[in-house]
Amino acid sequence: MRPGHTNTYYLRLDCNDLKYTFRTASVKIEVKDDFSSPTLTPSSLEVKDGDSVSLTCSAPAPCVPHPPTLTWTPTLGDPQETLKENQDKILVKTSVLNFTASYLHDGEKIYCNATYKKQDGNYDTSLTATTNILCTNCGQFEISLPQTVQVLSGSCVTVPCSFGIRRKYEKDLQGECRALWVYSDSSHPRLTDTNPVTGNLTEKDCTTIFSNMRPGHTNTYYLRLDCNDLKYTFRTASVNINVRDNLPAPTLTPSTLEVKDGGSVSLTCSAPAPCLSEPPNLIWTPTLRDSKETLLENQDKTIKTSVLNFTASRQNHGHISCNAVYKKQDGSRDVTFSTTANILCPDCDRFEVSLPQTVQVLSGSCVTIPCSFEIQRKHEKHLHGGCRPLWVYLENPDPRLTEANPVTGNLTEKDCTTTFYNIQSGHTSTYNFRLDCSDLKYTFKEANVKIEVKDNFPPPTLTPSTLEGKEGDLVNLTCSAPAPCLTHPPTLTWTPILGDVFETLQMNPNKTLVKTSVLSFTASSLHHRQNISCTAVYKRESGNSDASMATSLKADILFPPRILPSSSCTKTASQINCSCEIIGNPPILQWFLNGQPVNQSMEGFVTIKSLNETYLRSIISLNQPKERNVSALLCFGFNSLGSDSKLLFVNFLQTSAEHIVPPRILPSSNCTKTARQINCSCEILGKPTILQWLFNGQPVNQSGEGFVISQSRNKTYLRSTISLNQTQERNVSSLLCFGFNSMGSDSKLIFINSPQTSTENLVPPRILPSSRCTTTAGQINCSCEIMGKPPILQWFLNGQPVNQSGEGFVTIKSLNETYLRSTISLNQPQERNVSLVCFSFNSLGSDSKQLFVNSPQTSAEYIVPPRILPSSSCTKTARQINCSCEIMGKPPILQWLFNGQPVNQSGEGFVISQSLNETYLRSTISLNQPQERNVSLVCFSFNSLGSDSKQLFVNYPQTSAEHIDKNWMSVFIGTTVILLLLVCFLLIVIRFQKTHHYPEIYTLARKGKKVQNTTEDDNKLNTIELREKKIANSGTSST
């Protein structure tokens, strides 16, 4: 628009049969040389440090296709822009800038620039609006201190402290500043004899630790900042340090407990912790279970807390105490303060028995009834070796089942477990346990057991019930069958035996026994559709035949394709007929003619015949005119596990290998990723250049899955780009660029997405030589220092993980993201055996060091360091991970670490350990593993002479680049060998043709005439003629 266009305008409608000017309304267009500045709201800001600030910049937008560009200076956050119509129907461009105010913004000016683009070749026009930021609470001298701190005489104290200063003095706050603690009327430093250690003053942290405090240090202190150009005493707040000979006793919550047998109990013990570096050690007496400790800071003081959780039983009836032990630094003995709580269990002192409700037994075999009991305390003295266990009816004390030769456990240990032999159907009934002693006769009526005698049992249970996997997977099949009799459990047999078998005998929560057998093997294509059965055989007595029950499943194994040697071609003068046979699960086949996929068209006719789900045979027939050059016909078999290819036909008559160059993928091929999309490019050199994208093992076509653009700059260069819509919850595990032609192939795995995992910045841990221990008559103090990224550390005391509990107090200090230092303090009597191991690990590896061994009665001659055997491995199904770890050592001690945390018997995983002898240990672990979850599983073995560890399983969801690389490498090596042989053959033919001339053929070719395709008989005739000419020429040359 130009200035001359300024005027008032009406709209006129001009049609063939309708011409009308709308005069009820008009528009006045004003063409101006400048616009008013954009509007900034608010025009000035008064904020506080930490306030949320919102600024709005608005400018008119006369042209919808080219609205003004709104930019902020400085850029304090991400602005949100809109284009809206106001009440006058004028478009307005609006930009809203949101940020959090800080003292750094005090006095700053913020500019909003509206830039209008010109269309007449002149420079763009930029208009600016400005606002000022004023911070009302920035840059003040202020300090935060507790009012009073109590400390035990002879120990240390931590004074929490932070401060702020005026902004103009920030430049004077540097590393040479000192923190001084002074009286209110003096600048002379005090408490210098306590070796004060202060935090980082450049970060305004003035927290100070004073050591070996004495009663004379009791006073009120102020902080003074002493820098080169800044000296200031903070008088707005002070701290009163009170040095005492004693501290209040710890607090127990609740102080009195009334519990029920089997109920969950939680006790909390709290004690003041004046010194953060050496908090009190909280010890429970008696130690009922591991406790969890924390350090909590409030406004006035720091509290050390220990929470003890346990299940109440009759043994807990009485008192429990919590002891807070404070360490002295003046050489005197530690000080202990105690508090006691009462635990009352009214219903614990009673007669009770634990029995399964029902026990099923096979007729003619034996049965074991798990049983334990409790009696009132006053009758404990009557429980002796002369007591008899009787099994009776409820209404009659006469003993039953006596003809079944019952064998019972030790009644003095309250074990009434009994095994009955040769049980018959007449023994089916409900029984009560009766204790028959000389001075104590009692029938337990609180619980009974029903014995059901059956003629047959259900078949064993197979887990998983269906077997689906892929070739190379480590498979674990579990067969379970009830084991009514502890002395004669069923025999579990696998048919066929495909690998190692591991058996266990376990007790269910209902106290019934189960025999379990785990079959471990590596899946292969031979196992597909194979029946695998488990048979349970129960032994019977009195000449009865054994009972046998079986369960089976059929394996469904996926395996990569393989092209059979029977694949071949036949050729006539006008046609090529090729067949390709592949075996795979599933088998997928694609023909490539001169590098292009072949479909059902005039190009060729393809027939496919599938004999079964793993075998595929495809026949292709190509009409081949004499003048046409069919250089390469490739059969390509593939599925998600791998691929195989075979070059079935190459026509050498009119194909020169000199003009074919094998493909090579350039290093510039790469990917970029945003929150919603992945964009990858692949560049190849070759002649001809043929490229195929494979996404998670499947070919990518133009579809919703991804959009591919290929651009060929010349006959030897090809560049292809692919864009994939990638939501945050979706895993794109593998994206492969595959280039090939008749001379060879190349591939590159361009993108692998392993959520939340990046090993590029990870460093395996290393324990530093400075790690060591010091020991006194009553205590062990050890420190462990590690370097790694990330650094993760775990203490092991006598083979068990150490947490914050009465066992030991652990402090951890991390100087940065690659360094970690941990100290542990243990109360150690001289007669106690202690083995202390520092173990460090992350996803890249592990390191361990045995820092202290106190074994007064242990001879190293009989100890062998542990070694993890190579047979340790893992198998994975869709829902579960099963791993086994085998170690040799004396003694053999083993710990599983799941994502860096020790694994116990819990919902996280179920661990079974079996020790064949004192030097061999085998442990298996089963984990319920959803597909989207990341898993790191480490087997860690140790004893007093050393340690060994092995990372058995790392899962990056839906990503298996190692398998993909191996499968593609196999394909490429095979294809390369075949193509190299073809190249050699081509070179021999070409050299032969250059050495021996054929005038007739050469003349026809020079004149541009067509050369007829020769038949197989003609080729043989030409070969004979060539040999004759060669002999004639050699004879002529010799003469």
Instruction: Encode pLDDT of 442-456 as tens digits.
Output: 999 889 999 999 988
Who's near 516: CB < 8 A, 6+ residues apart? 478, 479, 480, 492, 503, 504, 505, 506
Residues forming a β-bridge with 593: 596, 633
Q: What is the CATH number of the domain that holds 157?
A: 2.60.40.10
Who's near 748: CB < 8 A, 6+ residues apart? 665, 669, 682, 736, 737
Fill in the amino acid letter for 940.
F
Q: Which domain holds residue 551?
A: 461-559
CA-wise closest residue to 343 among 379, 314, 308 = 314
Determine the pLDDT at residue 256.
79
Residues 861-910 have pLDDT tens digits of 567 778 888 788 888 877 778 888 888 888 777 787 777 667 765 455 66
Band (pLDDT 50/70/90 cuts) for residue 588 is: confident
- Identify whether 986 is part of a domain: no
Query: Is the CA virtual torsion 364, 366, 367, 371 positive or negative?
Result: positive
pLDDT at 686 over 50: yes
Q: Of 522-531, 553-562, 648-657, where does mean pLDDT reach its minimum? A: 648-657
- Same domain, yes or no, for 944 and 861? yes
Band (pLDDT 50/70/90 cuts) for residue 747 is: confident
- Domain termination site, one of 454, 489, 506: 454
CA-wise closest residue to 227 among 206, 201, 199 = 201
Other C-beta atoms lying within 10 Å of the C-beta of residue 87: 5
DSSP 8-class letter at 262: T
Q: Average pLDDT for residues 700-727, to the nearest whole number?
A: 70
Q: Do residues 965 and 749 lie in contact, with contact meaning Cβ atoms separated by under 8 Å?
A: yes
Query: Is the CA virtual torsion 1027, 1033, 1038, 1039 positive or negative?
Result: positive
Residues 219-254 have pLDDT tens digits of 999 999 999 888 999 999 999 999 998 888 998 888
Who's near 543: CB < 8 A, 6+ residues apart? none
- Identify whether 990 is part of a domain: no
d(CA 182, CA 222): 5
Element of type H or E holding 979 = helix 961-995
d(CA 569, CA 578): 4
- Identify whether 984 is part of a domain: no
- Same domain, yes or no, for 901 and 773? yes
From the number of C-beta atoms within 10 Å of its C-beta (0-12, 13-18, 19+), residue 406 rates as middle
Residue 631 DSSP SS3: coil
Q: Average pLDDT for residues 434-449, to the nearest whole number?
A: 90
- Same domain, yes or no, for 812 and 903? yes
- Same domain, yes or no, for 171 and 228? yes
Q: Average pLDDT for residues 854-861, to the nearest whole number?
A: 48
- Identify whether 985 is part of a domain: no
Helices marked H in 32-115: none
Determine the pLDDT at residue 241.
93
Q: Do residues 79 and 72 lie in contact, with contact meaning Cβ atoms separated by under 8 Å?
A: yes
In whole numbers, what is the pLDDT of the chain averaged over residues? Answer: 79
- Identify whether 219 is part of a domain: yes
- Domain termination site, one of 292, 309, 344: 344
Beta-sheet strands, E only, within 509-603: 513-522, 531-538, 547-563, 568-571, 575-585, 588-593, 596-597
Band (pLDDT 50/70/90 cuts) for residue 435 is: very high
Who's near 986: CB < 8 A, 6+ residues apart? 652, 655, 657
- Same domain, yes or no, for 787 and 914? yes
- Same domain, yes or no, for 240 and 206? yes
- Domain termination site, one of 623, 655, 687: 655
- Same domain, yes or no, for 174 and 259? no
What is the total count of domains within the chain? 9
- Identify whether 642 is part of a domain: yes
Determine the pLDDT at residue 939.
83
CA-wise closest residue to 484 among 364, 353, 354, 394 = 364
- Same domain, yes or no, for 937 and 1017? no
Residue 52 DSSP SS3: strand
- Identify whether 1027 is part of a domain: yes
Residues 910-957 have pLDDT tens digits of 667 666 677 788 888 887 765 545 567 788 787 767 677 788 776 644
CA-wise closest residue to 600 among 621, 570, 627 = 621
Residues 469-480 have pLDDT tens digits of 888 889 999 999
Query: Is the CA virtual torsion 755, 844, 771, 852 positive or negative?
Result: positive
- Same domain, yes or no, for 335 and 470? no
d(CA 764, CA 843): 8
Query: Is the CA virtual torsion 497, 501, 506, 509 positive or negative?
Result: negative
- Same domain, yes or no, for 400 and 447? yes
pTM value is 0.39
Q: Of 130-139, 319-328, 796-805, where does mean pLDDT reach its minimum? A: 796-805
d(CA 768, CA 791): 12
- Same domain, yes or no, for 128 and 162? no
From the number of C-beta atoms within 10 Å of its C-beta (0-12, 13-18, 19+), residue 711 rates as exposed
Fill in the amino acid letter for 537.
V
d(CA 515, CA 504): 6
pLDDT winner (highest mean) among 571-580, 656-665, 888-897: 571-580
Q: Do residues 785 and 754 lie in contact, with contact meaning Cβ atoms separated by under 8 Å?
A: no
Residues forming a β-bridge with 615: 583, 612
- Identify whether 554 is part of a domain: yes
Residue 874, CB half-sphere, CA atoms under 13 Å: how many? 19
Q: What is the DSSP string of 815-880?
A: EETTEEEEEEEEE--TT--EEEEEEEEETTEEEEEEEEEE-TT--GGG-EEEEE-TT-EEEE-SSE
pLDDT at 36 over 70: yes
pLDDT at 495 over 70: yes
pLDDT at 414 over 60: yes
- Same domain, yes or no, for 842 and 949? yes
Joined tokens for residue 50: 């930490």
Residues 987-999 have pLDDT tens digits of 765 665 555 543 3
